[in-house]
Amino acid sequence: MTLLLQIADTAAQMADTVNNAAVPTVPADDLRFGDLILKGGWVMIPIGILAVLGLVIFFERYFTIRKAAKDESSLMAQVRASIMSGNLQSAVAICRNSNTPLGRMLQKGLLRIGRPIKDIEGAIENVGKLEVSKLEKNIGIIGIVAGIAPMFGFLGTIAGVIQIFYNISKTDNISMGVISGGLYVKMVTSAAGLFVGIVAYVCHHILNMMVDKVILKLETDAIEFIDLLEEPSK
């Protein structure tokens, strides 16, 4: 009986040994996001600066353009009522107090009343161009970010390859431990550069579409204003 118990204990110990050998060891520590960013090296600094710059410009332009795109139907109605009643000074005051691109365009047109209609149209068009240029301010920088960020990622890839070959030349060893540092630089910088570039590209086109909508709206309201001025002569 004692012999059977000893055999059973030995078999259990052997089974535990086999099970422990079959289960792979899992690393206790996972790679954190911050550690992963640090693996990218110095190239991550300009990529991070580009990301912050692009986001700051995007949100600043987004809220500015959104403010300019608000509905101005009430302004047009007030201006129409003042013009139809012959009170041009009131119409000018209404446009001045609105402090909007459309208000400044209409104000310039009202101040030109009495001149040929072509002169009024030209004055409104010139103010409109100035207002559009204000809305487009710094949007081009986001386009530059979209183009430069992936280039910095590619630069990090080149730096990682150089690091890999440098480590191999120093150690004369092509092991995974030797090349892993360079691989981190390659992968992290490439991914970061592409991500920043894609986000900047999308933001750039969103702002351009918003500006195009504002331009269309300003042109429509300007045509309505010119038609309003021509009504008494019909």
Q: Which residues pair with 113 in a beta bridge?
A: 115
Q: Which pLDDT band, with edges at 50, 70 and 90, does 233 fall under? A: very low
- Given CA atoms 15, 17, 18, 23 in this order, what sign does their dihedral have? positive
Q: How far is CA 111 from the centre of its chain?
A: 39
Cα angle 44, 45, 51; round to 5: 85
Task: Give φ, ψ of 113 to 5 degrees.
Answer: -65, 135
What was the pLDDT predicted at 40?
59
Task: Give φ, ψ of 87 to 5 degrees.
Answer: -100, 80
Top pLDDT among 86 and 173 is at: 86
Token digits for 39? 């693996």
- Decide if 228 contacts 80 (C-beta within 8 A): yes
| Residue 141 DSSP code | H
What was the pLDDT predicted at 13?
53
In angstroms, rounded to a whole number, what is the distance separating the alpha carbons of residues 159 and 51? 21
Q: Which residues of 166-183 are buried (b: 16+ CB within 10 A; e: fewer)?
A: ebeeeeeeeeeebbebbe
Token digits for 210? 């918003």
42-50 average pLDDT score = 85
Counting residues of the chain whose pLDDT is more than 70, the rounded percentage is 69
What was the pLDDT predicted at 228?
82
Q: Which pLDDT band, with edges at 50, 70 and 90, does 174 fall under? A: low
Task: Report in angstroms the alpha-carbon separations of 117 from 131, 136, 226.
Answer: 21, 29, 8
**What's the helix, strand, coil split of the chain in %, to 5?**
85, 0, 15
In angstroms, rounded to a whole number, what is the distance separating the alpha carbons of residues 196 and 148? 9
Q: Which pLDDT band, with edges at 50, 70 and 90, does 16 fall under? A: low
- Give residue for tokens 């030109």: 112
pTM: 0.73
